[in-house]
A and B are shown apart, each in its own frame.
Chain A
C-alpha cells in the first residue's frame, strides 16, 4: 500500500513541522527592543558623510577644497563654499582683504608682506536626501577629510531636516572649549 505509506509519511511530516515551531517557541527571542536596547553593530554602520578635523585643530577640517568629492559624487549631494585666506607668518588665519586702496603702486611704499594664500571651507553643504552612501567621495578625497558618521537614528519630517552643514557639525562636535590651536 504505497498510498497509505505516503499518507502516513505526510502526516508525520506535519508533526515534525509542529515540533520545529514548538521548539522555537521556547527559545530565546532575537528581537532587540529598540528604545530600551540598541543593536551592537553600529561600529561598522555607514551613515552620512562627515568632515574630519585636522589633527592639530579640532575646529578646522582637513579639506583643501579641491572639489574632487563634488565631481565624484553621482548624485550631486555636495556643495562647498570657500574663501581665500592668507596666513600671516605666525599669525592667525584671517580673511584676505583685497581692497584696492591697500595696494599702492609705483611708489616708495613698502611691498605688502608675502602671504601664503590658501582656500578654506566656508560652508560644506551635504544634501543627504540624495546621497546613496556609495562612498565614492570618501574614497576620492586626497587628504582624507571625509568619513562616514555613525548616525543611525536620524529622523525628520521634511527634506530640510536632511540638509546638513558639515562644517557646523564639525565645530559642534569639537571637544568642549576646543580652541584653535595657537
Chain B
C-alpha cells in the first residue's frame, strides 16, 4: 500500500499559509531549508515556495536556538551576566562583551584606564578579523569552494592562539570586566600579534588570487541579492550589509566610543549593494582592522589594566542606559534598565543578525535557489545571535 498523503498532517504552523493556490497546485514545491541544512550554518529554518528552481516566496522561521539570554540577565547579578555575552554571537564574542561592559560602565559611571581601552580595541579587532575570516570561508563553502575555509582557518587558529594568551579561551571569550579587562597584555602577546599581522598581510592577496577575482565566484555574487539603500534602512540593516549598499555607517565612527576617534581608519563601502559588495566590504574591513591594531599597539600607554575600585557586588544607580558597539555583523546594542538592585531590571539585546535576516525574505523573492543560498551567506548570519 502506498503512502497516503491525505492522512498525514501537512506541514506545521509556519508552512500552513504556504499551501499553494489550487491553480498552482502541482507546480509549486514547498521546501524547508533547515532547521538542519548545510547552508544555514545553524538551526535556522527557511520555508521557501519554489516554482522549478525559482523561489516564489521565502520566510525565515526563528527560535530553534532561543536560550532566553535576555531573561537570564534579570536573574543574574550584573557581574554574573558577563559570561553570557560571549555566547550571544560566539564569532565576535568580544564585541558583545564590550557592549555589555560599556553599558554598565556608562550606567554606573565607572572609569576605564586608558591602557584597558587600547587592550579592548586590540583584542576586539583581532576578534573581528577572525570573525570575518570564518565568514569568508563559510560563504565560499556555500558557493561550493571547499578549500578557502581551510586557509581561513589556518589564520584564524593563529588569532585564537593569540587571544587565548590573555583570555584563556578560544571562542566564547569572557575577557572584559567592568572597568577594564581581566588580564594585562604581556610582551609575548604583543610580539605574537605583530608577527601575525605581518604574516597576515601577505595572506590577504593570496585570498584575493584564490577566489575574489575568480570568474565563477563573480558570477555567483555580482548583481545577486542587490540590496537598495532604502530597503536596507527600512529593515534596520547595519554592518557590512548596510555598508555594502553604500552608506558609510559604522558605529565606531557614527557613535564613537572608547579610543576609536583617535585612531585612523577608513570605513569601506560598496556601490551596488550586491553580494559582491558585501564580500568586498568585509575583506577591506580586515585590512582596516590590521591598521587599527597596529596603531593601537603603538599608542598603548602603560598603566593599570583594570579600575580597582569597582565593587564586586556592583549596584548601578537606578536608570536606563543604551550602549552600542560595532560588531562583525553590525551594530550591537545593549539596553539596560536598573532599579538600583544587584541585578538588572531588564536587559534588551539588539542583535544585528536579527535585523539583517529580515531582509532575506524580500531579497530572495524571485531568485534561483542557488542565489538564495548565496544571499543568505552574504548576510553573514550567526543563528544563536538571531534567537538570543
**A interface residues (Cβ-Cβ under 8 A, vs B):** 9-11, 13-14, 16-17, 19-21, 24, 30, 41, 44-46, 68, 72-75, 132-136, 139-140, 148
Q: Is the CB of A136 within 8 A of B214?
A: no
Q: How far is the CA of A19 from the CA of B215 in the complex (A)?
A: 15
- The listed residue (B168, B210, B312) touching A133 by CB distance below 8 A is B168
- The listed residue (B80, B151, B211) touching A136 by CB distance below 8 A is B80
Query: Contacts A11-B215, A16-B213, A44-B164 given: A74-B80 contact, CB under 8 Å?
Result: yes
How many Cβ-Cβ contacts under 8 Å join chain A to chain B?
Answer: 74
- Pick 9 A–B contacts, CB within 8 A, sort by A: A13-B214, A20-B210, A45-B164, A45-B168, A46-B167, A68-B312, A135-B182, A136-B83, A139-B182
- The listed residue (A21, A45, A72, A140) touching B210 by CB distance below 8 A is A21
Note all chain A residues with C-beta closer than 8 A to B218: 10
CB distance from B147 to the nearest CB of A (A): 6
Interface secondary structure of A, over-half rule: helix
Q: With an 8 A cutoff between CB atoms, is B74 at the interface?
A: no
Q: Is the CB of A17 within 8 A of B168?
A: no
Minimal Cβ-Cβ distance residue in A for B160 = A41
Q: Is the CB of B164 within 8 A of A72?
A: no
Interface secondary structure of B, over-half rule: helix
Note all chain B residues with C-beta closer than 8 A to A140: 312
Q: Is the CB of A46 within 8 A of B182?
A: no
CB distance from B315 to the nearest CB of A (A): 14
Q: A44-B164, A72-B79, A136-B83 provided; 19 other pairs, C-beta below 8 A?
A: A13-B215, A14-B215, A16-B209, A17-B214, A21-B210, A24-B147, A30-B157, A41-B164, A46-B167, A46-B169, A68-B312, A73-B80, A74-B81, A74-B84, A132-B83, A132-B172, A133-B83, A133-B169, A139-B177
7 closest A-B pairs by CB: A46-B168, A10-B215, A74-B80, A134-B83, A134-B174, A132-B83, A13-B213
Q: How far is the CA of A136 from the CA of B206 in the complex (A)?
A: 41
Task: List B residues 49-106 near A (Cβ within 8 Å).
Answer: 76, 79-84, 86-87
CB distance from B338 to the nearest CB of A (A): 18
CB distance from A128 to the nearest CB of B (A): 14
CB distance from A127 to the nearest CB of B (A): 15
Minimal Cβ-Cβ distance residue in A for B80 = A74
**B interface residues (Cβ-Cβ under 8 A, vs A):** 76, 79-84, 86-87, 147, 151, 154, 157, 161, 164-165, 167-169, 172, 174, 177, 182, 206, 209-211, 213-216, 218, 312
Q: Is the CB of A74 within 8 A of B76?
A: yes
- The listed residue (B83, B151, B172) touching A74 by CB distance below 8 A is B83
Note all chain A residues with C-beta closer than 8 A to B76: 74
Query: Contacts A11-B215, A14-B214 given: A19-B164 contact, CB under 8 Å?
Result: no
- The listed residue (A16, A44, A75, A136) touching B168 by CB distance below 8 A is A44
Query: Contacts A17-B211, A45-B164, A74-B76 given: A136-B82 contact, CB under 8 Å?
Result: yes
Note all chain A residues with C-beta closer than 8 A to B215: 9-11, 13-14
CB distance from B306 to the nearest CB of A (A): 10
Minimal Cβ-Cβ distance residue in B for A136 = B79
Q: How far is the CA of A135 from the CA of B86 in the complex (A)?
A: 13
CB distance from A47 to the nearest CB of B (A): 9
Minimal Cβ-Cβ distance residue in A for B216 = A14
Q: How far is the CA of A114 from the CA of B211 in the complex (A)?
A: 80
Minimal Cβ-Cβ distance residue in A for B145 = A17
